[in-house]
Amino acid sequence: MGAAAPNDVAYTYLPVLDRRFSKQVRDNVHGNIFLDPLCLKFVDTEQFQRLRDLKQLGLTHMVFPGAVHTRFEHSLGVYWLASEAVHTFATHQGNELGIEHSDVSEVKLAGLLHDVGHGPFSHLFEKAFLRRSVFRSHEDMSVKMIDYMVDEHNIDIDPGTLKNVKEMISASCEHASLSGVKEKRFLYDIVANGRTGIDVDKFDYIARDSRACGLGCNFQFERLMHSMRVIGDEICYRANDYLTIHKLFAARADMHRTVYSHAKVKAIDLMVVDALSKADQYLGISASIQDPSQFWKLDDSILKRIETDNSPELKESRDLILRIRRRDLYQFCNEFSVPKDMMDKFKNVTPEDIICSESQKANGNGITLSTEDVAVSIAKIDLTRGKNNPLESIKFFKDYESDDKFPIRDESISNLLPASFQDMIVRVYAKKPELVEAVSEAFENYQRKTLGETAQVHETPKKRRFLTTSRVVST
C-alpha cells in the first residue's frame, strides 16, 4: 500500500497548543520554541533549572571560548525537534500509524527530560570520575530524577505516560530492554535511537556545538526531518539521502576529533578528574549519585566550591584548579593512533605501562618517574557503531509511492566513503613541565616495545624538551 493521499492526512491527531497556557522561548538554533503546559510543570522546577549550571561541553570553553552553552538550551532544543519529528509522522502517516495525542506528549517530554540526570562537566563525570562506581549512565539517573521530580512537585501525570517517557529516554542504553514494547516502536527511536543511531538528540547537539565553537557544519538535519517516514514500525529514509546520513556520522566524528577530544581539552579534563578524586572523600561527591535528592544539587560550581574552600583536606584539589586557572596544564607529550589491525586486541595503556618503559638516560639525569607523574588519555572515536558501519543498520525507501524498505551498501553510492569506522588515539601527558623529556622518551620506548616502531607522526615540540632540560639543570 502506498503513501496516504492528501485528504487522508491525519490532522485530527495533532494536539492544538493553547497559547494562553504555553510559553514561547527564543532559541539561537531553532528560533521560536513553544513549551506546552505539561512540559512547563517540569521546566519550572529547581531540578530542571539546574541544567542552566551544566555546560553542554564541560570544560571545552577553556579552549573554545564560545562553548558556554548549557544542558538547559540543549534540552529545549531536543524537546522542540522531538515535537517536530512526531508531528511530521502524525501529519503524513497519522491514520496509518495510529498516532494519538498521548504519543505526541510522551515523545516531547522524553526530549525535554533526556538529560535531566546529567552530571557536571559533560561526560567526564560519569566516564572518567565515576568509572569504577555502580553509576551506569546519565540516562539511568535521568529516569530516577524524573520519578523524584514527579513526587517532589506532585506533578499530575498518567503512570502509563511516565513509564513510556522513561523507556524512550533509556532506549539507546546498552542495557535497555524494550521487549515489552509491542507497537509504535518507532516512537522510541526519535529521542534516543538505539537501532540506527539517528535521533534528534544528535541533530541538536551537532548543530548547537559546532555553532558555539565557531565551526562550520555541512550536515543539515532539516532534510532528514522533512523526508523521513515510518515503514514496518521503523524510521526509514529516502535512498537519495544516503550521503546526508553519512554526513551526520562524519560530522559527529569530526566534532569528537576537533573539539571533544582536543588535546588541550583532555589535559584539562585529566586535571579536573584528579581534583575531584582528591576532594571526593572530604566532600562526598560520588556518594550523591545514589540519591536524586542530593544529585540535583551537584553542578559545575563544584570547582568554585573547592577553589574557595580553605580546608586543608582540599589543598591538593585547590592547587590543581589554580594550575588550570593559570594555564599551567598537564603537558602534552605525544600521541599515536592505534593501528587498525591491532584495534580489537589492543590493551588500554596505563601510566604503569609508560614508566616501565622509562629510559636509562632519564635515570642518568636523576629522574625516576612514578605513576603520579604521568597521565594517559585514550580517545575512542567512531561513527556510533564501533568498528561497524552504522549505515548498514539503516533502511531506505525509493519514493513515497512504495512501502518497500531496503539497506544500501556504501559501494553502491560512492567509492570515496571510508573503509574503516573506528579510531583510537593514545595520548600521554606529563603532570609536571620538567618531566616532559623523560615522559616523552618513555612513551616512545613503549611504542617500540608494543608496536615495533614509534607510531607517533610528530616529535614532541623541541621548545618543551629544551625547557625541560633547562629546568632540570637549574634545579
- pLDDT tens-place string over residues 173-190: 765 666 667 789 999 999
pLDDT value of position 13: 44
Confidence band (pLDDT; 50, 70, 90) for 361?
low
Closest C-alpha among 164, 153, 205 to residue 187 = 164
pLDDT value of position 469: 47
pLDDT value of position 459: 73
Question: Which residues is 230 bridged to in the sheet?
Answer: 235
Give the up-direction half-sphere exposure of residue 352: CA atoms within 13 A in the CB hemisphere. Answer: 2
Mean pLDDT score, 337-345: 92
**Distance between CA atoms of residues 448 and 429, nearest Å:** 18
- pLDDT tens-place string over residues 379-422: 999 999 999 999 999 999 999 999 999 999 999 999 889 989 99
Cβ 26 vs Cβ 35: under 8 Å? no
Whether the pLDDT of residue 93 is over 70: the answer is yes
Confidence band (pLDDT; 50, 70, 90) for 458?
confident
pLDDT value of position 66: 98
The mean pLDDT value of the chain amounts to 90
Cβ 435 vs Cβ 370: under 8 Å? no
Mean pLDDT score, 364-384: 90
3-class SS string, the chain: CCCCCHHHCCHHHCCCCCCCCCEEEEECCCEEEEECHHHHHHHCCHHHHHHHHCECCHHHHHCCCCCCCEHHHHHHHHHHHHHHHHHHHHHHHHHHHCCCHHHHHHHHHHHHHCCCCCCCCCCHHHHHHCCCCCCCCHHHHHHHHHHHHHHHCCCCCCHHHHHHHHHHHCCCCCCCCCCCCCCCHHHHHCCCCCCCCCCHHHHHHHHHHHHHCCCCCCCCHHHHHHHCEEECCEEEEEHHHHHHHHHHHHHHHHHHHHHHCCHHHHHHHHHHHHHHHHHHHHHCCHHHHHCHHHHCCCCCCHHHHHHHCCCHHHHHHHHHHHHHHCCCCCEEEEEEECCHHHCCCCCCCCHHHHHCCCCHHHHHCCCCCCHHHEEEEEEEEECCCCCCCHHHHCCEECCCCCCCCECCCHHHCCCCCCCCCEEEEEEEEECCHHHHHHHHHHHHHHHHHHHCCCCCCCCCCHHHHHHHHHHHHHC
Q: Is 246 a catalytic residue?
A: no
Whether the pLDDT of residue 132 is over 90: the answer is no
Closest C-alpha among 277, 275, 367, 374 to residue 330 = 374
**Distance between CA atoms of residues 275 and 386, nearest Å:** 31
* Cβ partners under 8 Å of residue 450, min gap 6: none
Whether the pLDDT of residue 329 is over 50: the answer is yes
Q: Which residue has the cell 573554545?
A: 64
Whether the pLDDT of residue 456 is over 70: the answer is yes
**Distance between CA atoms of residues 283 and 276, nearest Å:** 9
* Strands 374-382 and 422-430, bridge-based pairing: antiparallel
CB atoms within 10 A of CB 205: 19
- pLDDT tens-place string over residues 58-85: 999 999 999 999 999 999 999 999 999 9
pLDDT value of position 21: 81
Mean pLDDT score, 40-54: 98
Residue 359's alpha-carbon distances to 159, 377, 449, 455, 457, in angstroms, are 64, 21, 12, 18, 20
- pLDDT tens-place string over residues 105-125: 999 999 999 999 999 998 899
> In this structure, what C-alpha cell is assigned to residue 122?
559533560
Whether the pLDDT of residue 12 is over 90: the answer is no
pLDDT value of position 109: 98
Q: Say what percent of the chain tops pLDDT 70.
A: 89
Given strand 331-337, what is the order of strands in its sheet?
331-337, 422-430, 374-382
Mean pLDDT score, 342-354: 93
Mean pLDDT score, 18-25: 84
Confidence band (pLDDT; 50, 70, 90) for 464?
low
Whether the pLDDT of residue 363 is over 80: the answer is no
Mean pLDDT score, 333-361: 90
* Of residues 416 and 39, more confidently modeled: 39
pLDDT value of position 10: 40
Catalytic residue among 30, 138, 256, 262: 138
pLDDT value of position 3: 46
Mean pLDDT score, 357-373: 78
* Of residues 135 and 351, more confidently modeled: 351
- pLDDT tens-place string over residues 272-326: 999 999 999 999 999 988 899 999 999 999 999 999 999 999 999 999 999 999 9
Q: What is the reported pTM?
A: 0.91
- pLDDT tens-place string over residues 426-446: 999 999 999 999 999 999 999
Cβ 83 vs Cβ 191: under 8 Å? no
Confidence band (pLDDT; 50, 70, 90) for 460?
confident
